């Protein structure tokens, strides 16, 4: 998660929001570091998780990221959760919970419970205080 916090700082320096996604393969090796690029791409769907899915699926020439794990600094939004489920991501670990003022405040765990065809494991609270502090400090 500390690598994700550094990636989120990079996002802000590039004019984007402080959200990051780190992806590891089945052996736990980092295969991609990505972040929010909404402002950069002028695309409201260019969240770190969605960007990572697009990059990896194209690079690996597959629609399935089965066996890959995503680490995100904030709880994935419903759109990102749906994208990870469609891409068959095995699991996602996140830092801070999404604020109650989020665009669509539905818990990632609640969405994962509904994923019957392509299940995804979700666990939050990893370095939650640090992730929340960063998000609060940089989202000004």
- Of the candidates 87, 28, 17, which has an alpha carbon nearest to the alpha carbon of residue 52? 87
Give the whole-angstrom CA distance, residue 108 versus residue 115.
11
pLDDT, residue 98, reads 86
pLDDT, residue 100, reads 64
Q: Percent of the chain having pLDDT more than 70? A: 97
DSSP H/E element including 74: strand 69-74
Q: Active-site positions?
A: 49
- Of the candidates 117, 47, 104, 45, which has an alpha carbon nearest to the alpha carbon of residue 78? 104
Mean pLDDT of 103-132: 95
What does pTM read for this prediction?
Answer: 0.95
The answer to whether the CB of 11 falls within 8 A of the CB of 37 is yes
> Which tens digit of pLDDT belongs to each residue from 8-37?
999 999 999 999 999 999 999 999 999 999
pLDDT mean across residues, the chain: 95
Give the whole-angstrom CA distance, residue 94 versus residue 116.
21
Q: How many CB atoms lie within 10 A of CB 61?
A: 6
> Which tens digit of pLDDT belongs to each residue from 67-106?
999 999 999 999 999 999 999 999 999 999 986 667 888 9
> Which tens digit of pLDDT belongs to each residue from 48-57?
999 999 999 9
Residues 6+ apart with CB under 8 A from 75: 94, 95, 96, 97, 98, 107, 108, 124
pLDDT, residue 107, reads 94
Q: How many CB atoms lie within 10 A of CB 24?
A: 18
């Amino acid at each position: 998660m500390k690598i994700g916090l550094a990636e989120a700082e990079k996002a802000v320096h590039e004019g984007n929001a402080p959200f990051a996604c780190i992806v590891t393969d089945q052996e736990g090796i980092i295969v991609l570091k990505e972040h929010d690029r909404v402002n950069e791409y002028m695309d409201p769907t260019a969240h770190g998780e969605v960007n990572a899915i697009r990059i990896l699926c194209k690079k690996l020439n597959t629609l399935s990221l089965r066996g890959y794990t995503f680490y995100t600094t904030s709880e994935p939004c419903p759109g990102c959760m749906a994208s990870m489920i469609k891409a068959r991501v095995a699991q996602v670990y996140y830092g801070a919970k999404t604020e109650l003022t989020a665009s669509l405040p539905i818990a990632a765990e609640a969405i994962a419970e509904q994923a019957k065809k392509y299940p995804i494991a979700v666990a939050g609270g990893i370095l939650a205080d640090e992730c929340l502090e960063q998000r609060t400090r940089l989202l000004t």
